Each structure stands twice: as structure tokens, then as C-alpha cells.
């Protein structure tokens, strides 16, 4: 009996150590499951423009790559790249032209994945305006939203030696619809659809895509600070790879993706329209999976970079040349 008691005492004395070891094992397991927490800042409210990122989170793809991604939605008062530079986000999506401009002003931003390969920016005119060619825009009043969206048009009109008047327009497009503007800027996946929803048929509009006018400046890419990439290149690579898988899932499951986005938009109190989000997702596929690609290509093309950099210099937006190889880091390999 005494022998048994001694064995039991020895066992009980080991119990705290065993419990501690078990706790450590469970903590390691939980940590591995949750993955490394990173914050991804988007440019705007939840919508199909960002479907790949939301689906990568919803379907557990980020977790499979060892990441716990917190998606920071954008709005009119936030700037995704400001969040990255200030340390409030680890990664952010942004237009190529905007990122080059910030880099030229000293922000150590780098592109680690160019998701959108073809610019969705376009000019739209009503057929009854008599505008059929770019030359017909000479002297036109053109609706725009701000300086960022004027860069490509300014480059176009300078090249074609046209004089135009940019007019700040409201989101409602009322001025354009009432004939107060000769043409308006629009994103193919967004405002162009809204014009159709207002009652304009596609055959009632003349459209000019900047990507067809030798002014392709791809929009949404993924950016981070140089220090972030150097500190953990495997994390940056995992974020890009998982985001690609998220986009591929979104395109392969459009109905599920739109339904998921509508739920997320409702949760964030963002007005949502199923038909519009379905259109937007399809157009995002057009500008991401360009030229019939079967696999998403995240490489930033040097021609697109050089053309965008040159245009920014010519417009006085930047004053110094930026090296492609310093600005872009290929993590696809």
C-alpha cells in the first residue's frame, strides 16, 4: 500500500509539468491554425472589385497559407496606401499610378502583385452628341471625379493636341444624363453599368477604353513597404498566392461569390444590387484574366510600368525617375 502511495505521489508531482507541456502544445496548435495576422487595406467599400480577397478569407484560403487576414474596408475618408505607410495596415491595394506617385514622394512602397492587368477606365459619350472619334472631343466638357482619374485623359488629350474642360461631377451622373456634359469618365465595371441602369442602352453610347488607346495603366495591385517584404518575404508571397486562389475561386463560383459579397455588403451597411455585383465580377474577370489566360498572372509588366511612369513625369505629377526593379518584386516564383 505504501509503495502504491509513493508511486501515486510521484505521479501527482509530475502532473503540473505535464499540464504545462500540454498547454504549450495546445497553444502551438492554436497558433498554427490561426496563422500570422496581417492587415489588408482595400481602396473602397466591399464590392465585387475586391471579390478575390473576400473569398480567400471566407473560404479559408488565407488560413491554408498560414495567414489570418484582417480586411480593412475603404471609404471616402480613408486611403489604403496611407494606411500602409503609417503602419495601420501591412498590405494594401491601389492603382499603379497612385503607388508610383507616392513612391516618387518618398514612400518606400513596392508592388508585390499586379492583380488587374488592363485598365478599366473609359470615356463615354452619348451618340446624339455627335462624338464618334477622339478628335471629336476637342472643346468638350468632360465629367470627372478628381485628379487621380484625370491622368490618363490628360495624357491622351495632350498627345492628340485637344483642348477640353474637366468638370467635377456628382455620383448621380445627373449632369451627363441631362446633356450638361459631352462625355464622362467611367470605370467599366462600375459607372458604365450605372449608366445602363439609368436607361442608356449600350448602342446609344460611344465608348473609348484607355487600354485601347495605348494608355494602359493597370489599376488594382498589391503593395507593401520594402521593410515589410524584407522582414518576412514568405508572408508577402503567401498573401499574393492566397489572394490569387481567392480570385480563381470567385471566378469559378460567381453565384456563390456574389451572394457572399451581398451578405458582407449588408453587414457593412453598403447599398447592394445583385445584378450590378454580378456585372462587376464578370468585368473584373475580363481585366484580370486578359487575353484568354487560364491562370492569373500577377507580374507587373515592364511596358505598363514604363508607360505609366513616363506619363506621370510628363504631367509633372512626379519629378524623378523610378526604377522598375526597385519598385516591383516578383514573388510569383
Domains, in order of start, for the chain: 35-118+218-327 (3.40.190.10), 121-213 (3.40.190.10)
pLDDT, block means (10 residues), the chain with 333 residues: 44 42 39 71 97 98 97 92 97 96 95 97 94 95 83 90 91 88 96 94 96 94 97 97 98 98 96 96 96 83 95 88 94 76
pLDDT score at 325: 95
pLDDT score at 29: 34
**Unique residue bearing C-alpha cell 480567400:** 56
pLDDT score at 25: 39
pTM of the model: 0.86
pLDDT score at 14: 43
Say how many CA atoms lie within 13 Å of 197 toward its Cβ. 15
CA distances from 144 to 23, 127, 263 (A): 59, 19, 31
Amino acid at each position: 500500500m505504501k509503495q502504491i502511495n509513493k508511486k501515486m505521489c510521484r505521479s501527482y508531482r509530475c502532473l503540473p509539468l505535464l499540464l504545462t507541456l500540454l498547454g504549450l502544445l495546445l497553444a502551438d496548435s492554436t497558433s498554427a491554425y490561426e496563422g500570422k495576422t496581417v492587415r489588408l487595406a482595400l481602396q473602397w467599400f466591399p464590392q465585387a472589385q475586391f471579390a478575390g480577397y473576400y473569398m480567400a478569407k471566407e473560404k479559408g484560403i488565407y488560413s491554408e497559407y498560414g495567414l489570418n487576414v484582417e480586411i480593412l474596408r475603404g471609404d471616402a475618408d480613408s486611403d489604403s496606401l496611407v494606411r500602409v505607410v503609417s503602419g495601420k495596415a501591412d498590405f494594401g491595394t491601389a492603382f499603379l499610378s497612385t503607388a508610383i506617385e507616392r513612391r516618387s514622394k518618398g514612400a518606400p512602397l513596392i508592388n508585390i502583385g499586379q492583380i488587374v492587368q488592363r485598365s478599366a477606365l473609359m470615356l463615354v459619350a452619348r451618340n446624339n452628341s455627335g462624338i464618334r472619334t477622339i478628335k471629336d472631343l476637342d472643346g468638350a466638357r468632360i465629367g470627372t471625379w478628381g485628379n487621380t482619374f484625370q491622368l490618363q485623359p490628360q495624357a491622351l488629350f495632350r498627345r492628340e493636341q485637344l483642348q477640353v474642360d474637366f468638370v467635377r461631377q456628382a455620383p448621380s451622373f445627373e449632369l451627363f444624363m441631362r446633356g450638361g456634359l459631352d462625355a464622362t469618365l467611367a470605370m467599366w465595371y462600375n459607372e458604365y453599368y450605372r449608366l445602363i441602369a439609368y436607361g442608356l442602352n449600350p448602342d446609344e453610347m460611344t465608348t473609348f477604353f484607355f487600354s485601347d488607346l495605348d494608355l494602359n495603366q493597370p489599376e488594382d495591385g498589391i503593395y507593401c513597404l520594402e521593410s515589410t517584404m524584407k522582414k518576412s518575404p514568405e508572408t508577402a508571397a503567401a498573401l499574393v498566392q492566397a489572394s490569387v486562389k481567392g480570385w480563381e475561386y470567385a471566378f469559378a463560383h460567381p453565384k456563390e461569390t456574389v451572394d457572399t459579397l451581398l451578405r458582407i455588403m449588408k453587414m457593412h451597411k453598403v447599398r447592394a444590387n445583385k445584378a450590378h455585383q454580378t456585372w462587376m465580377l464578370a468585368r473584373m474577370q475580363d481585366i484580370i484574366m486578359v487575353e484568354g489566360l487560364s491562370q492569373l498572372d500577377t507580374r507587373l509588366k515592364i511596358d505598363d510600368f514604363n508607360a505609366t511612369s513616363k506619363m506621370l513625369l510628363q504631367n509633372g505629377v512626379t519629378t524623378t525617375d523610378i526604377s522598375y526593379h526597385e519598385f516591383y518584386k516578383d514573388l510569383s516564383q
